[in-house]
Amino acid sequence: MVDEKSVNQRCEFGIASEEEEEIREGKESAFTERILNLFERVKTQYSDVFEPYERINLKPITLAFIVGQLQDYNLIETPVDVKGTAFQTFVYAHQRGERGEFFTPYPILELAVKMNPGDGEKFIDPACGSAGFLIRGMNHVKNEFIRQRPEMKERANEFVKDYAHAYIAGIDINPDLAKVAKMHMVLYDDGHTGIFAANSLLQLNELVSTAEKAGVPRSLRPEPESFKVLMTNPPFGTKGKVTDKTILRQFELGYKWNKDKKTGKWEKTNTLQDGQVPDILFLERCLQLLKNGGRMAIVLPNGDLNNSTLEYVREYVKRNARILAVVSLPAGTFMSAGSNPQPSVLFLQKLSEEEAEELNKNDYPIFMAIAEKIGYDLKTKTAPILYKKDVVGELIRDEKGNPIIDSDNP
């Protein structure tokens, strides 16, 4: 893509038949040097994605094959959703065995994004993985722009690029995945500057400092109460408990809670827990990052929502937010999460303590649902997409002729 955007008319990303012949015969070729020089330009242009020491670690014959396969395609003219799908498929296949829990199935992303992040609303994913929620949210804003301003359709890409730079942020503890997320955003016409690598459970001032060093714009640094929308799928399952007392002290849910036998109310004690699972700490961190009135969708193991020993967690949520919805997902949704807990998506709106106290004086409606199908075959390790079929087994298609994913989420 850097080559396609170059002012130089000569194509650098390409291989001539005679160069291919030289490489097959083991001879020196200008091709290899040309591609490596091009990568140096990429590293300069995207210095916040690639480190100066990074190299392409492929044999010349492999590099020649890949360039030969890709050189006929114009990636600038390729629709962003096609590029994004190809990229996500490649990364998913490459890293699934080791880090598959970072990949949230497409129907679940869509379910959360229907919360409608809007133009002018900053949103963040503090466990962004490969940027699935960020990409879906950005595309949702773009589609809304086209729907409401059809006369400006030709400028939609320009609009969404400006929007992404100003309003989208992401954090991932794994530097490789933060890099993957940035590259994913670049394929969608950029907006990667708000993504950086850090442990989202560190003290907020430390997180802000790390973001500053990573070149994240001031407006997108994870200050408390600075985001309007948050969507995330934090680590849970076999990740183990957080035992670092420096981290636990920041969180009310890092302490032990006792239930008053007379009043039935839960109260936080001054005794730290020996350890707390990361998903519960993430729940509190997400509420810390949201402005009052801000909305969030978080994927959690069902135990957080129904285990009797975790009633204090639900009490904390009720004191700080309005529960908008709970959508239960089938067991096996995240097949590589080790213990394979059954998850749900919890939708909340942050409230002040006074607002929450007033709200909880009376019952209020909460949307609850069980999704039995999410569009994937949960019995296999490859999780192929399942499409709706009629009684004779033919694919059911939408008005555009595309097959429809067999999911309850819509």
Tens of pLDDT, residue by residue over 209-252, are 999 999 899 999 999 999 999 999 998 755 578 999 999 999 99
Residue 128: Cβ within 10 Å count: 32
**What integer pLDDT is reported at residue 40 of this predicted model?**
95
Q: Indicate whether 98 pLDDT > 50.
A: no
Model confidence, pTM: 0.87
Q: Indicate whether 23 pLDDT > 60.
A: yes
- In angstroms, rounded to a whole number, what is the distance separating the alpha carbons of residues 92 and 85? 10
Domain boundaries, given as residue ranges, for the chain: 17-70, 80-370
Mean pLDDT of all residues in 367-387: 79
- In angstroms, rounded to a whole number, what is the distance separating the alpha carbons of residues 116 and 114? 5
Give the DSSP letter string of 206-247.
HHHHHHHHTT--GGGS--TT-EEEEEE----STT--B--HHH
Mean pLDDT of all residues in 164-178: 91
82 against 300, higher pLDDT:
300
Name the range with the highest mean pLDDT among 140-154, 177-191, 246-260, 362-376. 246-260
pLDDT band, residue 14 (cuts 50/70/90) = very high
- Which has the minimum average pLDDT: 44-48, 276-280, 296-300, 348-352? 44-48
Q: Indicate whether 173 pLDDT > 60.
A: yes
- Which has the minimum average pLDDT: 102-106, 178-182, 311-315, 330-334? 102-106
Three-state SS at 156:
helix
Mean pLDDT of all residues belonging to the chain: 88
Measured between alpha carbons, how far is residue 156 from residues 63, 151, 160 in Å? Answer: 35, 10, 6
What CATH superfamily classification does 80-370 receive?
A: Vaccinia Virus protein VP39 (3.40.50.150)
Per residue in 258-291, pLDDT tens?
Answer: 999 888 899 999 999 999 999 999 999 999 999 9
Percent of the chain with pLDDT over 90: 57
**What integer pLDDT is reported at residue 268 of this predicted model?**
95
Q: Indicate whether 384 pLDDT > 90.
A: no
**What integer pLDDT is reported at residue 285 of this predicted model?**
97
Name the range with the highest mean pLDDT among 53-57, 119-123, 335-339. 53-57
Per residue in 285-344, pLDDT tens?
Answer: 999 999 999 999 999 999 999 999 999 999 999 999 999 999 999 887 775 445 567 899
